[in-house]
Structure 1
Amino acid sequence: MTQRFLLACTAAMMTCAAAAVPAHAADPAPQTPTLSAAQRKVLIDATRRFRDVDEALKAGYLATDLCVPGMGWHYVNPQLAGDAAIDPVQPEVLLYVPGRDNKPRLVGIEYFKADADGKLTTDTDRPTLFAHDFDGPMNGHEVPAGAPPMPVHYDLHVWLYLTNPAGQLASENPRVICP
């Protein structure tokens, strides 16, 4: 480095730092979306009772036969999934994995909303939860035989009861392995 370059850097440290470091290295790492402690408490208080799968069944959640790698078994409440409202204390889907004695163990929740126009190219009706955008719009996923096809939709997973190394609001949790 020349004396002139060093003097210039001393005079304008920020400018030189930006010039000396590639743009991609100077950018801060993207933040993994997460919930505040208060938001997390609201969701845990609302869903704690569903740790007992029998309580979920009593509340209208229906088990699916399909275990989705990275997500687990989806227990869907058709009434909640069929309306357009997103209510933080009433998730449309509960996510379970095999627990002790193969009894389902609640690991997370999922919010779901069908896309209003059914087009993958528009997202004017993208929902949010606590200011976090839902993923989508996306095509419907595989459904059990005999079930109606899933529409183009938005969803948001929240890993409340099983830490997700990919992030609290990531779609998939690498710790969830289907048997």
Structure 2
Amino acid sequence: MTTGSRRNRPLMAGAGALALVPSLLAAGPARADDASVPRDLATAYAATARYAYEPLAVKDGFARTDTCVADPGMGGMGGAGGMGYHYVNRAGVGSTDPRRPAALIYATGKDGERHLVAVEWVVPATGQPAPRMFGRPFDGPFTNAVLGRIYDRHVWLYKDNPAGLFARYNPDVRCP
């Protein structure tokens, strides 16, 4: 496969995923009157789809990591699943703009390559209530070893998540 075709393959697959947004929201946003949710999901998708080709993420300032994040309960039976490898762009930390995520999340596919699976927004927790995005409050606050106390919002735009579009962990993502 040439680099050009590899670059386009995830975009075509993602276009089908975007068409599923209405069904992914079937449970409804936290505020039923929030018509901005489908629009903001489409905006986030349009802003991040190019990063399905991982080298573009690195080129645009998302720092590659070799640490795969999984639910601590995954050591034995149970647990919520994994997140994957977070590529963080510090310029996006604090943003609730659908075009400016703080992190892109990749998981290793059966082909051994990393594939974009989710996007994450991170806001420092400084005593304020959880910010809202996509019609619901962020998760948290949590303590992050690098960023301190944070709120976060995961969106599984590029990989189906049986736990839900906005779940923190995906039971179908495993860390090596």
Match of 1:168 in 2: 165
One-letter amino acid of the counterpart of residue 134, structure 1: F
Describe the SS at the equivalent of 2:86.
strand
One-letter amino acid of the counterpart of residue 151, structure 2: Y
Superposition map of 1:16-35 within 5 A: 31=27, 33=29
Match of 1:104 in 2: 114
Q: Which runs of 4+ in 1 moved over 4 A?
A: 31-36
Structure 1 unaligned residues grouped into runs of 5+: 1-30, 118-123, 142-148
The answer (yes or no) to whether the contact 1:33–1:169 under 8 Å persists in 2 is: no
Describe the SS at the equivalent of 2:153.
strand
- How far apart are 1:100 and its partner, in Å? 6.0
CA separation of 1:62 and 1:45: change in aligned 2, threshold 3 A: same
Greater CA drift, 163-172 or 35-44: 35-44
1:56 aligns with 2:60: no
Correspondence for 2:90 among 75, 78, 81: 78
The answer (yes or no) to whether the contact 1:64–1:73 under 8 Å persists in 2 is: yes
Distance in 1, matches of 2:156 and 2:29, equals 12
Correspondence for 1:154 among 148, 151, 154: 151
Distance in 2, matches of 1:97 and 1:127, equals 27
- How far apart are 1:125 and its partner, in Å? 3.8
One-letter amino acid of the counterpart of residue 71, structure 1: M
- How far apart are 1:49 and its partner, in Å? 0.4
Structure 2 unaligned residues grouped into runs of 5+: 1-26, 31-35, 71-81
Alignment RMSD (CA, Å): 2.0
Match of 1:14 in 2: none
Describe the SS at the equivalent of 2:148.
coil
The answer (yes or no) to whether the contact 1:164–1:175 under 8 Å persists in 2 is: yes
Count of residue pairs the alignment pairs up = 134
Distance in 2, matches of 1:88 and 1:49, equals 15
CA separation of 1:36 and 1:113: change in aligned 2, threshold 3 A: closer
Distance in 1, matches of 2:95 and 2:38, equals 24
Percent identical? 38
The answer (yes or no) to whether the contact 1:53–1:105 under 8 Å persists in 2 is: yes
- How far apart are 1:101 and its partner, in Å? 4.3
- How far apart are 1:139 and its partner, in Å? 1.7
Deviations along 1:144-175, whole A, 9 cap, x unmatched? xxxxx330110010000101000100111101
- How far apart are 1:116 and its partner, in Å? 1.6
